[in-house]
Structure 1
């Protein structure tokens, strides 16, 4: 079977959200993306978190399907079309803080006069191939042609629902933005346009954009892969923006795992003015808890951060896991009530919805 056919045949959540299943080391024992010194989270071949769980296996994937409706809830089929009532036409610049959810985990941050895209995905499918994989059920909340001049593009990790290579290459050609990604992702991005300039950073490192705007790469409880043999060979992370108008925390994909990364971020940067946190792609929990938060954990994360406001994303655009399309919104309301959080402080956004301060 050809490589593309094999990728398409594998589970959508495995290949498109999780990037592959537990294949052992790269065939040549060499990292194709990054060569650098060993560290407390890089062993010379693969990156890992402080409590990195065991990689999921093909047997785990089979059990996911086998246990649906028996030991875990059945898969809820999404509608083929679920348009958002919102569409944003952003201003060219914004002096304060203006945030638009483009869809899934893609954002436009307009902050202190700069325009920053995070994980921009304009593809019709979150997939390595065009003919298979999770398909968008709603259009981007900002049409590509309505984007303002883009100064920077931030990539949290290399899964296909976050790193859309053709879109980043198009942005590079149209806007020449600064592109920032965790270690190793520059190699992946330049495969889509070898003229692309990509800055990379390790956890704990910062990029100074000038004017008091700094972008810090911080740990996330997740992992990476683009195919079958490159698991955890490129780094992943969260971003903290320290700006003249306040701190913004963007988690990327992450599990909760005791909440240590959120406590550490608050201790280092202070309570953020805004935290953008994932609330979807979490069922079944036995399979997903090691890499994705559910709404209850997202509320706990926001409280640990001490965020003034929270926006929930990573739901309602691509069906990657088993929960229904509106289930994260309903579960978020319950979690806010149970944890004593005013629901106005934590809202599940739809594509095109805007928060402005």
Structure 2
């Protein structure tokens, strides 16, 4: 199945095996896991529970959207602006350049077109209407971060990719030219040609794999995007670890942190943050402004769709956290957003009329179309 991607071989595999994170036949988390992160007594959800369990896993109505396209035509006066497109996909405008994180426009977080977690909320802006970017960063190879339909739509563009060790094999198998791909080990940096941007891969605590036989065959990373004046930390997927303090020491300070807050479960606590641990991670990072990601798009856990946002908002004062919680598609400059209290826009959705019943068979969301970005 093409959406599975490709295993690494040759020089790529040799480079992976030379990594300090490679142990035996794959990558491993190497930092000691703090006690209490994962509830060993909590049973892991079964497949049927994951697919059908839980309550309020999707909103009653479509989430409100903002249209950022007019705003994108003007550079941000502060030099740093972020637009949450959906899930972990964010368009960063940093010191005159554009960076896209974990681009996912496909209809499902799954290798299958007709099965698996389906989007309950479309991307804020269609892929074809996105502005041209200078670089795309991909944290790891899970389906809700590395999306086969989206990558195929990007094949004819010239935008470069920066990702973790081994992930380039998937990209290359799907048609991305090898000269467009840069793979990084933790603490390695890449200067994006023709820009003032430096991308650095940093530790995270997670795992990888796109099918049953490739567990941990590629590396997972957090990523630091540095411009001439600003630095942004992007967590990818991760559990809580003391490495956040080391990341701050070596790569900070940060002007914005994109931390995952959704899709958490007591039995997954060592590989996902959730809102409470995201705030603890923020403390270790030096408490930069926090834009929460990894929620509001897919039902990937049993909790209510809006629980991450409500819990984060309730706990933030205990951590003196400065939250940036825009609507989908709302282009925000962290320096400006912090002057106003967070408006819990998501709560109005639950008071809205329920979504209209969908006809049977349920129509699939459209696949992303090829982008019209210049090819030279």
Q: Give the TM-score of the pair, scaled to structure 2.
A: 0.76
Q: 1:277 is matched with which residue?
A: 259
The 8 Å contact of residues 290 and 323 in structure 2, kept in 1 or not, is answered as yes
What SS is found at the alignment partner of 2:324? strand
1:191 to 165, 169, 173: 173
Q: 2:67 is matched with which residue?
A: 87
What SS is found at the alignment partner of 1:312? strand
2:111 to 120, 125, 128: 128
Q: Structure 1 residues 217, 83: CA separation in 2 closer, same or farther (over 3 Å shift)?
A: same
CA shift at 1:93, angstroms?
6.6
Structure 1 unpaired stretches of 5+? 8-14, 20-29, 54-59
Separation of aligned partners in 1, 2:82 and 2:328? 11
Separation of aligned partners in 1, 2:211 and 2:98? 31
Check if 1:144 corresponds to 2:127.
Answer: yes
CA shift at 1:151, angstroms?
1.5
What SS is found at the alignment partner of 2:45? helix
Q: 2:99 is matched with which residue?
A: 116
Separation of aligned partners in 2, 1:300 and 1:103? 23
Separation of aligned partners in 2, 1:234 and 1:207? 19
What SS is found at the alignment partner of 1:328? helix
Q: 1:215 is matched with which residue?
A: 199
The 8 Å contact of residues 104 and 315 in structure 1, kept in 2 or not, is answered as yes
Matches within 5 A, 1:222-233: 222-233=206-217
Structure 2 unpaired stretches of 5+? 34-40, 336-376
Check if 1:330 corresponds to 2:310.
Answer: yes
How many residues matched?
315
The 8 Å contact of residues 97 and 195 in structure 2, kept in 1 or not, is answered as no
Q: Structure 1 residues 223, 150: CA separation in 2 closer, same or farther (over 3 Å shift)?
A: same
* Greater relative contact order (Cα < 8 A, sep 6+): 2
CA shift at 1:110, angstroms?
1.2
Q: Deviations over 1:220-260 (max 9, x none)?
A: 1111001110000001101111212211101111101xx31
Q: 2:301 is matched with which residue?
A: 321
The 8 Å contact of residues 103 and 350 in structure 1, kept in 2 or not, is answered as no
Separation of aligned partners in 1, 2:14 and 2:108? 31
Q: Structure 1 residues 136, 38: CA separation in 2 closer, same or farther (over 3 Å shift)?
A: same
CA shift at 1:40, angstroms?
2.6
Matches within 5 A, 1:96-107: 96-107=79-90
Q: Deviations over 1:56-109 (max 9, x none)?
A: xxxx998523997xxxx9554424753233232152573611111110001111
Q: 1:166 is matched with which residue?
A: 149
